[in-house]
Structures are given as C-alpha cells and as structure tokens.
Amino acid sequence: MNRIKSFTLTCLVLALVATCGCGSLTTDYGQSRGQAGRTSLNGFGALRKSYSQAGFRDRDISRLTDRVMDTDVIVWTPQMLLPVGANATNWFNRWLSRGGRTLVYVIPDSGSEVEYWSDASKLAAPPQRLEYRRRAARSTNERMLWRMNRPSMTSNGWFRVESLIRRQPVREVTGPWQDDFDQLSAEDYTPVGIEFDVLAVDPEADNSISFAKAINGTGPTGPGNAQWLPTVEPTSTVTPTQSTPQLSEANGKPLVVQIQSKRWRDSQILVVAGGSLLTNYSFTNPFNRVLADRIIQASQPANVASPLAGFLTSNRFEVPVSVQNPGVPEASGMELLTVWPLSLVTMHGLMLGVVICLMLLPIFGRPRRIRRTNENEFGHHLDAVAALMNKAGGERYARMRISEYFKRMHGEASGPWVLPEDSSKPPEMPPPSNLQTLTPKKLSTRRPGADPAARSDETPGSPPSNPSTPPDEAER
C-alpha cells in the first residue's frame, strides 16, 4: 500500500516539475510548506505529504518550546551545514527522554538541481536542448565550488559529519534495511549519490570547532554566499549514545544512521546522509521513494493511532529554544501595570480616559477627510486671482481691469472685452479691510481705491492731467 501511495505522489511531483518550465523553476532548499515546499526541486513537500498519507498529523515548528513536547516525530531539515547548538541539544535530550520519540535529521547538501537539468536535457525538444545542457553544466560547476569550500560539521555529542572528496555514487546497499531495496534494478540507483560521511563520536570527546569559511554554490543557501561557522559550546549534560547504520552503500558509507541511548528509552535519532535523498525531485527515482517509505515506517511510534509529525526548518541561525522557568511566573515590564496595587490606578485611569473620549466626541465630532489639491495646477492660481478680484469689487471690477488692459496695451477702442466710456468708471466703494495692497516706491503714488480709469486716455510719455500733482512726482 505504501508503494502505491508513493507512486501516486511521484506522479504528482512529476506533474509539478513538468509545469515549472525554465523561467519559473524554483530551487529553494529546506522548506516543506507553502509554495516553495510544494514546487521547489529542493523542497520537502513530497516527504511531508508521504507522512500525511501514512496516517500522521503534521504541524509546523518554528521554535522548540514546551508546547512541542507532545510531538511524536520531528523532521529537521536545516538549510545550512551547521552544528547543533547546546540549547537545542539539551531540549532534544529532554524530548527524547519521554520515550517513543523520533528525530529525523536530514544533512543539507547541494540538492537535486544538477540531476534535474541532466534529466531534462535528455527529454527536451531539440531547440531547447542546448540551453538545458548549459544550465546543467553551470549547476555542476556551482556544485563543485560548493563542495570544495564546505567545512565538516563537528558533533554535539551525537554524531559527526565529514565531507567527501567527491560525490559517492550508490549502486548497492547493505544493512538491516537492505531487504526493502532488493527488488530494485541497477538503473534505479543511477542518480543516487551522497556527499557526506556520518561518523559515530565519543560523547566524552572535545566538541569544539574552529572558525571556518564556507562558500556556497548551488547548496542550500544559494550561489555566492559566505558564512562563518560558530563555535560549538559543550552541552550541559553528556548523553552516552550508540550509533548503528541502518542503510549503507557498498563501500561502507552510511546513508541512514540510527542513534540510541539508554536514557532515551525507546526513542531514536535517524540521520540521513543528504537532503538530495528526500527532496521533491528525488521522489521521481524508485530508490528514493523506497527510502522515504522505510524512514516513515521506522518513525512510526508504537501504540499511537494518529501520531503527530512536526517539520522544523532552520537557516544560518540557531534554532530558537524557549524553556519555561520553574516556579510562579513573575510580571515584568508593562505587566507590572496589572499587578496590585498599580492595577487599581491603571483601571481607574483607563475608565477616566474612556469618559474623556466620550465627552470630546460631540465637540470635535467624527474626523473629516481633508481634500488635498495639487499645488502645481495652474487652474488653482486662476481661481485664487478670481477670488481676490471678487473681494476687490466683484465682476464689474474685473471687467474694468480687462477693458483697461485691452485699451492701454492693445490700443483697442471697441471689442467684446472693451467697456463703453460711460461704464468705465469704477464703483466708489472702499476696499475690504482684509485686502492688503502693496504700493511699490518710485512706481506709482496712486492710493488704493483711486480712480483706475483716470489715466485711461493718457498716452505713454505724456505728462499727468492732474495739475495738483507735482511735476517731479509725475516724472517719477
């Protein structure tokens, strides 16, 4: 039944990969949820779907807290090759000590992008075959660069990971899980390979690591990134463990290692030698589907009808761990406002603020929406000038100003904008008190409200007609 489910899931993965195309192809590593987890070549959405089809309930884990303690299986897919921190090690020790727990730790590797372009170039149309080969060659070069600059992961007391010089092909397997792979042919092993060697360690040994620089190519963090590995702190409690390879290739390199301890009772840790063994695209290979089924069977807790599986993804930072301190929780910060006797003042102040808001509501009313205008629009300038002219004398005053303009500047005596002589006299009304009139010196001595048509018949350069004006002021 599991084989049939895996075959159906593989068909779905193939359909998703076939619809990706060259432009929208995603290669994000480590995610098992969302769009990236379902459609990315290096996602683990297919593995998560396999757990759901096997009867597991799934959940997302972003931090290790006491609420996660009821999870039966945790699948940890880190995006970078970093050692497990001391806080995470202590939390997992307490979690495994409850019994019946399984931690599936998937070591991050370069992913399945190279295999995808190599397989797609064989099935691509002749016009696109050259482009697929170019992308396959570029992915291969980036994988080689990433492999040459990656460091080894020092253990936290459970296991140690060492990088292989070259990608080790898997053509034959041995170990307790060998019977599940006997029915596979040699072609099913062709694209399978590992890049790490999982080794057992002595928990009493020194677990420190020196600073090393890793340049990632097509690896989990993308091309061209550099990361400084931190120093591993020794754990507070050393747990003696024993490692047993469950599946190894012909040369003895383990693919899946089981780690157990007497303090964990029947709990276990399953270390997978590479993420490319369980990615979405790897499910197109029968070997990887059988491997996923075998890991799910080994993760099945006893006497649990509907076990809970949590999926944890970590980046270059350590997994956040939140542990509740024993004893009565103490308030701190803003929580002190809810503790007696400050809570008495806080509640009264809150009620007083509500009453003040209700009192001011009828006065200020509801907020109005301000109409915003563009200051660069020339029409607003015309409206402002028209408003000022309306305050100065209304429409009649505006018409007289326009008529005076045509008479003095254009020399027109008649026209649609030229007023007759009898109506050119401005209305005798004082200017508004709020109207400010500027009288520049040496330009005009006419006071605001004076007759604007008094000089309508004068020609430029002629002396002023008012005999009371001094000659020197008229010249000015």
DSSP states of 222-252:
-TTEEEEPPPPPPPSS----EEEEEEEETTS
Give a yes or no: residue 83 inside a domain. Answer: yes
Give a yes or no: residue 331 inside a domain. Answer: no
| pLDDT of res. 444 | 41
Same domain, 240 and 91: yes
Domain limit, last residue, from 312, 332, 350: 312
Residue 53 to residue 46: CA distance in whole angstroms: 10
Tell whether the model's pLDDT for residue 259 goes beyond 90. yes
Task: Tokens 């930072």: give the residue.
Answer: 317
| pLDDT of res. 428 | 53
Residue 145 to residue 226: CA distance in whole angstroms: 12
Domain limit, last residue, from 293, 312, 331: 312
pLDDT interval class at 13 (50, 70, 90): very low
Give a yes or no: residue 79 inside a domain. Answer: yes
Give a yes or no: residue 181 inside a domain. Answer: yes
18 or 29: which leads in pLDDT: 29
Tell whether the model's pLDDT for residue 164 goes beyond 80. yes
Residues in Cβ contact with 336 at an 8 Å cutoff, skipping those fewer than 6 apart = 342
Q: Which is nearest to 156 in space by CA: 44, 76, 215?
A: 76
Tell whether the model's pLDDT for residue 275 goes beyond 50. yes
Give a yes or no: residue 266 inside a domain. Answer: yes
- Residue 122 burial (C-beta neighbours within 10 Å; 0-12, 13-18, 19+): exposed
Give a yes or no: residue 264 inside a domain. Answer: yes
Q: For residue 407, give Cα distances in angstroms to 133, 395, 413, 415, 456.
A: 84, 18, 6, 10, 8
386 or 436: which leads in pLDDT: 386
Same domain, 409 and 283: no
Backbone angles phi, psi at 136, to 5 degrees: -65, -40
190 or 74: which leads in pLDDT: 74
Q: Which is nearest to 217 in space by CA: 131, 277, 101, 137?
A: 137
Tell whether the model's pLDDT for residue 470 goes beyond 70. no
Residues in Cβ contact with 162 at an 8 Å cutoff, skipping those fewer than 6 apart = 152, 196, 197, 199
Map residue 106 onto helix, strand or coil. Answer: strand
| pLDDT of res. 217 | 41
Same domain, 272 and 397: no
pLDDT interval class at 257 (50, 70, 90): very high
Give a yes or no: residue 471 inside a domain. Answer: no
% of the chain beyond a pLDDT of 70: 73
| pLDDT of res. 219 | 55
% of the chain beyond a pLDDT of 90: 25
**Residue type for 54, please?**
A
Domain limit, last residue, from 261, 296, 312: 312
Computed over every residue of the chain, the mean pLDDT equals 77
Same domain, 275 and 404: no
Number of structural domains (the chain) is 2
Tell whether the model's pLDDT for residue 32 goes beyond 50. yes
| pLDDT of res. 390 | 78
| pLDDT of res. 332 | 64
- Measured from the Cβ of residue 25, the count of other Cβ atoms closer than 10 Å reads 16
Question: What's the average model confidence in pLDDT over 244-249?
Answer: 92
| pLDDT of res. 427 | 53
Same domain, 282 and 420: no
For 390-427, what is each residue's pLDDT tens digit?
787 778 887 888 888 888 888 888 888 888 876 555 55
Tell whether the model's pLDDT for residue 319 goes beyond 60. yes
Q: Which is nearest to 60 in space by CA: 47, 50, 48?
A: 48
Residue 283 to residue 108: CA distance in whole angstroms: 17
**Residue type for 424, please?**
S
Give the range among 147-151, 191-195, 303-307 with minimum mean pLDDT: 147-151
Residue 45 to residue 35: CA distance in whole angstroms: 9
Residue 302 to residue 399: CA distance in whole angstroms: 100
Same domain, 87 and 213: yes
Could you write out the DSSP letters of every residue in 196-228?
EEEEE--TTS-------EEEESSSTT-TTEEEE
Sign (positive or negative) of CA dihedral 66, 71, 72, 75? negative
Q: Which is nearest to 102 in space by CA: 310, 247, 269?
A: 269
Q: Where are the alpha helices (DSSP H) in 310-417?
A: 342-364, 378-392, 394-410
Map residue 441 onto helix, strand or coil. Answer: coil
458 or 293: which leads in pLDDT: 293
Give a yes or no: residue 458 inside a domain. Answer: no
Q: Which is nearest to 292 in space by CA: 49, 99, 108, 118?
A: 49
pLDDT interval class at 17 (50, 70, 90): very low
Same domain, 286 and 408: no
Tell whether the model's pLDDT for residue 137 goes beyond 50. yes
| pLDDT of res. 423 | 58
Question: What's the average model confidence in pLDDT over 37-45?
Answer: 90
| pLDDT of res. 326 | 63
For 116-136, what is each residue's pLDDT tens digit?
988 888 888 888 888 888 998
Give the range among 144-153, 304-313, 430-439 with minimum mean pLDDT: 430-439
Residues in Cβ contact with 397 at an 8 Å cutoff, skipping those fewer than 6 apart = 389, 426, 427
Same domain, 415 and 289: no
Same domain, 423 and 282: no
Residue 64 to residue 56: CA distance in whole angstroms: 20
Pairing relation of β-strands 213-216 and 268-272?
Answer: unpaired
| pLDDT of res. 476 | 39
Residue 40 to residue 50: CA distance in whole angstroms: 16
Pairing relation of β-strands 242-249 and 254-260?
Answer: antiparallel
Same domain, 196 and 305: yes
**Residue type for 333, please?**
G
Chain length of the chain:
476
Element (H, E) at 46: helix 45-53
DSSP β-bridge partners for residue 270: 104, 258
Question: Which residue range is the domain that position 402 belongs to?
Answer: 393-428
Same domain, 101 and 233: yes
